[in-house]
Chains A and B, each alone.
Chain A
Amino acid sequence: MTNTASVGAKRGAPAVTRPPAAEDATRWGRLVAWKPYQVLTGLIFASPRRQFLLLGIIPLIWLITQHLGPMLQMFQVSLLDAYPVAPGTETHFTLDNYGTFFNESVFQKPFFRTIIYSASLTFVTLLITYPVAYYLARYVKRENQLALLLLVLIPFWTGEIVRTYAIMILLGNNGAVNIALKWLGLIDRPIPFMFTGFSVSVGLIYLTALYMLLPLYSALEKLPRNFTEAAADLGAGPWTRFRRITLPLSLEGIGSGCTLVFLISTGYYGTPVLLGGPNSTVFAQTIAGFFHVAGDKWPTGAAFAVIMFVAALVLSGIFTRLIAFLRKGDS
């Protein structure tokens, strides 16, 4: 974040063409002239193919052992009839845990609710944070941008639970908002904000805004000002300028922000549980339920997690394609 401003300033002049400080240059020069370094880079960069294989091997090992390993474990559990395994008993392969989801509408309802909630939450978050990011990136002086960005980030440093309880005392029947409204004489009896879609949104947007704001900001920040200025010179109105220039050029940021927010919000558990009402059970709650009760339900919980994962992956894949298509169409 420190160098947001300086990178922006450097934009027109890539770092190489800038004469580097003498000492700095010799340090790099010495490294490049160093025999072992030359041997090593010679080995690694001999061909693009070898370069890719050598440099790709560590991330690949990481992915397989660290990302896939635990999940394969979980997948395996989802195919068992009992887990944890009681000593002296045998487990058997079964697909029943997946069948449970497809056979019982009780579980499908929270699933589809979660998908719809997450999608609309993503959209609302985008609507709210876009102007914020736009203001930050385009109207605030560069030297103040960092300070304002940090200002916007600071509240996220408090834990989810404490923050959620603060929202409860904000929105409760005897909460700050109702007290203020009563004091202003606008209401006689408190408005029941809590345990509604509204209270859940207030709590969740708090959590999702950051994940939307950062990609949007970095997309808008690097958008050259002279583009829109040129368009203005050509007589384009503000709406046209936004629709034809700003929006298409920030699609990348919108894409990654929305993907992030959607993915994260399908897994939210604490905030919807605490702020939601009787009609807003989310799928993460359903899944967690299997882990709270008797031990032999773990496989079902695991199977449901696999279902959620596959669904979220497919949807975000479709979304990414859509954004890619839009970008192509516009350029």
Chain B
Amino acid sequence: MSKLILNRRKFLGTTAATAGILASPAYLRRAHAAGGEVNVWTYNDFVPTDFKNDFEKDTGIKVNVRLVDDQGKQFNLLAAEQPNPTVDIMTVAGHRFLQFIENDLLQPLDVDRLPNWTTINPVFSESDWSTINGNKWGAPILSGMEVLAYNNELVPEEDVQSWMTFFSDKYKGQTAYVIQDMMSIVMLMKGYDGNMVEYLNDPERAAEIVAEARDFLIEKKPLVRKYYDGGAEVQQMFVNQDIAMACAWNGPIAALMADGFPVSMTIPKEGSYGFVYTYNIANNCPNLDNAYTFLNAILAEPEIGAAMTKASGFISTFKGADAYLTDSEKAASSFTEEELANLQFFRAEANEMKYGLVDPAVEAVKAA
């Protein structure tokens, strides 16, 4: 278990970390004087233990981590707590921002209060999805993408060049996917914009496209083994050899690969969708100053990003984080240029329209 946890001495000894602390002494002293606490809702291992201990020691701010396991539940919990939430920082997937923002659950980030903002690779921090209403709403920490994962002892590489392989009779009863995610992929596969941004002004066209994707998935329903929901499920299905291939997030698959299972992942030629987990500050949060102190501290050092990658399998958004990964960890978290060429990010602009159409379609596929 300790394999996942950073060597504390090594971490403290890193000059960059020291520099980071020296760079903002006044800030930290103020925080220390304030003491108090910061409340974080996040996934397991997204706040590295050693980082947490050092942060508490250095600032006197106690970090209360509440583990969540699902974006929807987190939304419900926060919505139920408003207008006086108990949380300061939560972990929202970038493409779900809008839902939180529209319900007034998040506050915009004041980037000027985060001197370490530049640690984040601009690919993520300055990307088109990350600015909404002229504001930044979250600090990107980890990124993931939908991949085609396959058991490389059962499936030859030439079979996984296209998402169409999921719908061939050859792999009947050996595939699994999350219906919501596959809806976007099917739209992409058929040459449409799975984010539906293109059709914002043409809802009828959007409805047609969703209906086409829905009918396609219903037609192909006899071929699928399992509609799953969570990363742990897809891992277990691979281990149990219940499936030969799956559409999955890269994180859980990378974890399987790191443990030596004969699983590989690729982004087929049609491309795929990526998303970014961000740390966000809740509206009306109880410890605003401490929240900024925490965010700035976690962005201080690429090694913290690397620790998050090791634990979760998702790819760090920090510049230079991969320098702290082993070769096999790097292999499990990188793709060729060719694969990445067609990767797009999930976008939130059309979410209301998209999910207004997709959610009933998903129900229809399940019920069919």
Contacts and interface: CB of A to CB of B under 8 A. Distances in A.
Q: Do A and B come from one complex?
A: yes
A278 B76 contact: no
A184 to B, nearest CB: 19
A274 B233 contact: yes
B201 interface: no
Contacts of A174: 239-242
B367 A107 contact: yes
A110 B367 contact: yes
A314 B173 CA distance: 39
Interface secondary structure of B, over-half rule:
helix
A173 B226 contact: no
B355 A84 contact: no
Given A106-B360, A106-B364, A286-B363, A169 B72 contact: no
A164 to B, nearest CB: 10
A293 B72 CA distance: 6
A194 B102 contact: no
Interface in B77-129: 79-80, 82-83, 99, 102-104
Interface string A194-222: 11000000000000000000000000000
Contacts of A105: 367
A278 B227 contact: yes
Contacts of B75: 295
Nearest to B359: A293
* Max chain B Cβ within 10 angstroms of own Cβ: one of A192, A194, A286: A194
Contact of A194 (B104, B240, B355, B360): B240
Interface string A89-132: 00000000000000011110110000000000000000000000
Given A86-B102, A293-B72, A277 B226 contact: yes
A133 to B, nearest CB: 34
Contacts of B99: 294-295
Nearest to A170: B240
A294 B83 CA distance: 18
A134 interface: no
A291 interface: yes
Interface in B227-259: 227, 229, 232-233, 236-237, 239-242
Contacts of A173: 240-242
A192 B242 contact: yes
B136 interface: no
A289 interface: yes
A86 B367 CA distance: 32
Contact of B103 (A106, A109, A289, A295): A295
B367 A106 contact: yes
Contact of B367 (A109, A190, A293, A294): A109
A87 interface: yes
B221 interface: yes
Contact of B366 (A86, A87, A274, A281): A281
A239 B158 CA distance: 65
29 contacts: A84-B79, A84-B82, A84-B103, A86-B104, A87-B83, A104-B360, A105-B367, A106-B360, A106-B363, A106-B364, A107-B363, A110-B366, A165-B232, A168-B236, A172-B240, A173-B241, A173-B242, A174-B239, A175-B240, A195-B226, A195-B242, A278-B225, A278-B366, A279-B221, A285-B366, A291-B72, A292-B70, A293-B355, A295-B103
